[in-house]
Chain A
Amino acid sequence: DQQVKQNSPSLSVQEGRISILNCDYTNSMFDYFLWYKKYPAEGPTFLISISSIKDKNEDGRFTVFLNKSAKHLSLHIVPSQPGDSAVYFCAASVSGGSNYKLTFGKGTLLTVNP
């Protein structure tokens, strides 16, 4: 039972355009969401996060949108750069207590073409 789903295994965009990566979740207890970027032979790098009390969070070229009623979040990258080419993982957790176990999607491979 996959609680976090990234239905697009890959996405290809042109440099300078917008990249939109999508993520859906099924567990209504999730209240904290994160995006990680992963290059080959490296560990996941934290990119941006959002709490369920917000519907948007921005950090430079990266914006995450959360739609709680649809159990959907998306990561927007504007403008996309070739260095953004990587696998992007969506992750979710239930905050509170001492256990912030992350549940990950399978990832989306983003390719930004020059």
Chain B
Amino acid sequence: ETGVTQSPTHLIKTRGQQVTLRCSSQSGHNTVSWYQQALGQGPQFIFQYYREEENGRGNFPPRFSGLQFPNYSSELNVNALELDDSALYLCASRLIGREETQYFGPGTRLLVL
């Protein structure tokens, strides 16, 4: 049990739509990262938020954006969905003082038709 939860578990959208995925972690987890895992691949880093500001980004376009809130929750927003956005989206958080280890939530599986 990592204490990281995500919602929804599954989602179906159509191309061009927008989607918001949510993540909640425990008190003391001050950093949240989002990853995309396509089928047959390892998770790929999208971006990271620390104290409600983005402080690291992977090779993803600006239509991927996020927010982190003071209550240890965060959101991943994807605009203008494309078919290739179909993937498992994972949220991970880190404990203050154990920043090198990330604890993942169960993920949201997004299907874009």
Asked if A pairs with B, the answer is yes
B100 and A100 contact, CB distance less than 8 A = yes
B43 and A100 contact, CB distance less than 8 A = no
Contacts of B48 in A (CB 8 A): 99, 101
A89's contact among B43, B101, B105, by CB below 8 Å, is which? B43
> Could you say which of A41-49, A69-77, A78-86 contacts chain B?
A41-49
B93 to chain A, nearest CB (A): 11
A35 CA to B103 CA, complexed, in Å: 12
Known: A51-B100, A95-B100, A102-B43. 20 other contacts (CB 8 A): A6-B42, A32-B100, A34-B102, A41-B106, A42-B106, A42-B107, A43-B90, A44-B43, A46-B101, A98-B31, A98-B56, A99-B55, A102-B45, A102-B102, A104-B42, A104-B43, A104-B44, A105-B42, A106-B41, A107-B42
Q: Which of B4, B90, B92, B101 has the most CB of A within 10 A?
A: B101
Contacts of B44 in A (CB 8 A): 104
A49 CA to B105 CA, complexed, in Å: 19
Name 16 interchain pairs, CB-CB below 8 A, sorted by A. Answer: A4-B42, A6-B42, A41-B106, A43-B2, A44-B43, A45-B104, A46-B2, A91-B42, A100-B100, A101-B48, A101-B56, A102-B33, A102-B45, A104-B42, A104-B44, A106-B42
A63 beta carbon closer than 8 Å to chain B: no
Binding site for A on B (CB under 8 A): 2, 4, 6, 31, 33, 35, 40-45, 48, 50, 55-56, 58, 90, 92, 94, 99-107
The B interface, classified by DSSP as helix, strand, loop or mixed, is strand
Give the size range of A's interface with the partner: 20 to 34
B8 to chain A, nearest CB (A): 13
A93 beta carbon closer than 8 Å to chain B: yes
A103 beta carbon closer than 8 Å to chain B: yes
A46's contact among B33, B43, B102, by CB below 8 Å, is which? B102
Q: Which 3 interchain pairs have the tightest Cβ spacing?
A: A104-B42, A43-B104, A99-B56
